[in-house]
Amino acid sequence: MRCLVDYAREQGGLAPLRAVSSLARAAGHPGRLGQRQARQAPAAADRASDFRPTRVWPNSEALRPPRILCVLDAFYERDGDDFVASELTRGPWDPGAQHAGPPAALLGHAIEQLPETDEFQLGRVTFEILRSVPIAPVMVEARVARPGRRVQMVEAELSDRGGEVLMRARGWRIRTAEIEIPAEAFVAGDPPPPPEQGSEAGFFPTGEEHGYHSAMEVRFVAGGFLEPGPATVWLRMRQPLIAGEQATPLQRTLVVADVGNGVSASLDFRRFLFINVDLTVQLERMPEGEWICVDAVTLPQPNGVGTAESVLADRRGRIGRGMQTLLVGER
């Protein structure tokens, strides 16, 4: 289903938008169809970046009406240089905000568009969550910050249409090569039980029909969303990250890696918040197949700070790990 606001885009002008907004409200549509004044990218020095897109939107709302994507066959849809978020990106904390997994994967997509991607593998990437990411159009940009023949530092930013940076990523990518590693050098445990041995478990009661919880197929082999303590869970995307494009192994990993604090919650979500302010993912190799396993534990402390640690795996075994810094507090 597509939002009626797309009809207004086709017809042009504010009158169709107001009519569509009234229809949407009458139908109980959860999206916001109000008008927003177009803004230029902030000029403040502390927000300046040599790789942020420098665009000024037309002042006429009729030329660029806001758009809310209700197509439920992808997390995002391209709209020129922008990516319009669908309801499948919705997270558990705020019905108007995205889960951090999809925008992290979108930043990974931007990094994959850099030159020489096929010759390098992302070894570590850290995502700083600077602002809550609304379910709205976003822009992504990436660059090679430190070129190198064997090691490169990459950076990427995700911003809203006004130019405000919402998430920032920085990581190292390493040139891959065939190396003969002695068998005794490998320290590998047994792979986790496969997803076929897992079971579905109820998600946090968010009150929303569509969101990250409906976009992902989930199989727990230990623990559960509503069971406190460590958990081992398999996840795979039901829909592609970007409409019409096949998700890559990196994107499949990043869209999953942010669930550690949610699946292994040790606190009652009805009383406490345990929101991550960042996400670090280390990748020893790229995953094989669609399913990604997260073996997670959450460690809150009485000073309001916590961490969530995850081992990431595919059917063969470990592929890397994830770590989140948590803000812990009472609701």
Q: What is the per-residue pLDDT for 70?
A: 57
Cα 40–chain centre separation: 25
Measured CA to CA, the distance from residue 166 to residue 144 in angstroms comes to 20
Domain assignments of the chain as residue spans, ordered by start: 5-19+46-175, 193-330
Measured CA to CA, the distance from residue 4 to residue 78 in angstroms comes to 18
Q: What is the per-residue pLDDT for 52?
A: 35
Q: What is the DSSP string of 227-270?
A: EEEEEEEEEEESS-SBTTSPPPHHHHHHHHHTTHHHHT--S-TT
For the full predicted model, state whether its pTM sits above 0.85. Answer: no
The answer to whether residue 53 scores a pLDDT higher than 50 is: no
Query: Which CATH code is given to the segment(s) 193-330?
Result: 3.10.129.10
The answer to whether residue 45 scores a pLDDT higher than 70 is: no
The answer to whether residue 93 scores a pLDDT higher than 90 is: no
The answer to whether residue 34 scores a pLDDT higher than 80 is: no
Tell me the per-residue pLDDT of 106-125, one tens digit each, with 9 for 90 and over.
Answer: 999 999 999 999 999 999 99
Torsion of CA 185, 177, 110, 4, to 10 degrees: -80
282 vs 69, 121, 143, 290, 322, CA distance in Å? 32, 11, 19, 19, 6
Hey, what CATH topology would domain 5-19+46-175 get? Thiol Ester Dehydrase; Chain A (3.10.129)
Classify residue 168 by its DSSP letter. E
193-330 has the same fold as 5-19+46-175: yes
The answer to which of 60-64, 144-148, 185-189, 213-217 has the lowest mean pLDDT is: 60-64
Positive or negative, the Cα torsion across 72, 251, 148, 163?
A: positive
- Between residues 161 and 63, which one has the greater pLDDT? 161
Positive or negative, the Cα torsion across 135, 141, 146, 151?
A: positive
| Burial class (CB within 10 angstroms; exposed 0-12, middle 13-18, buried 19+) of 208 | middle
The average pLDDT across 262-291 equals 94
Closest C-alpha to 170, from 258, 239, 107, 235: 107
- Between residues 3 and 81, which one has the greater pLDDT? 81
Tell me the per-residue pLDDT of 123-140, one tens digit each, with 9 for 90 and over.
Answer: 999 999 999 999 999 999
Within 13 Å of residue 204, how many CA atoms lie on the same side as its CB?
Answer: 23
Mean pLDDT score of the chain: 82
Query: What is the three-class DSSP state of 157?
Result: strand
Measured CA to CA, the distance from residue 188 to residue 174 in angstroms comes to 22
